[in-house]
Amino acid sequence: MSHQKTPLQDAVFGEDKSNSILVLGVGNYLMGDEGVGVHLVHRMEKMDLPPYVDVLDGGTAGFFLMNVFDVYGTVIFVDATMDGRPAGTIRSIRPRFASDFPKSLSVHDVGLKDMVETLYLLKENNMPDLYLITISVEGVQPMTTEMTPPVEQSIETAIGDILALAEEIRDSVS
C-alpha cells in the first residue's frame, strides 16, 4: 500500500488544490451513528477516486479545520443529522450561512455552524463553494464504532451521490 499525503500535507508542500474538491467527513467516530461522516470518508480513502477528489477525516475538529478552506475551492461536508427523518435518509443542501444548516445536526453542530459563519466573515469574497450531505440518524450510541444497519447501509448510496455531485461540479467549471 502506498503512503498518500493528506490534503493538509499537500497544502503545506505547495500542491495547488484550488481546482480540487474536498470531501470532509465530520462526526465523532466513537459515538455510533453520529460518526457516519468519518466512517464514510474512511471508506472513500480505500477507493480509487477521481484525481480531483480528496477526502479528509475532520472528526470533531471544528475551527481547527479552517485551514482547508484556504486550500480548496469546493468542500463537501458529510455529517449526521437528527432531523426526524428515517435513519439513513440522505439529503444534499448548499449552506450559505449557519441558519441554512439543518436545525438538528449531530452533537457537534454548534462547532460546524459557527465555523461556517466565521468563514463567511473572514473570507467574504473568497469563500469556497460549500455543500452539505446529511445522513439522518435517530440518536447516538456512546463508546461504539458500530452504526445501526440503516445508517451503515446508507453509506454506499451517499458515496455514489457524492461522486456524482463532484463530477457535476467538475463539469460545470470545465
What is the tens place of the pLDDT at every residue in 85-125? 999 999 999 887 667 777 666 555 456 677 777 777 777 77
> What pLDDT score does 31 carry?
93
In the chain, domain spans = 17-173
Is the per-residue pLDDT at 2 higher than 50? no
pTM of this prediction? 0.87
Question: Across the chain, what does the average pLDDT equal?
Answer: 85
61-82 pLDDT tens trace: 777 788 888 889 999 999 999 8
Mean pLDDT of 29-50: 96
Q: How far, in Å, are 15, 63, 75, 147 from residue 153 at the CA level?
A: 35, 30, 24, 9
Cα–Cα distance, 108 to 105 (Å, whole number): 7
Question: What architecture does CATH give domain 17-173?
Answer: 3-Layer(aba) Sandwich (3.40)
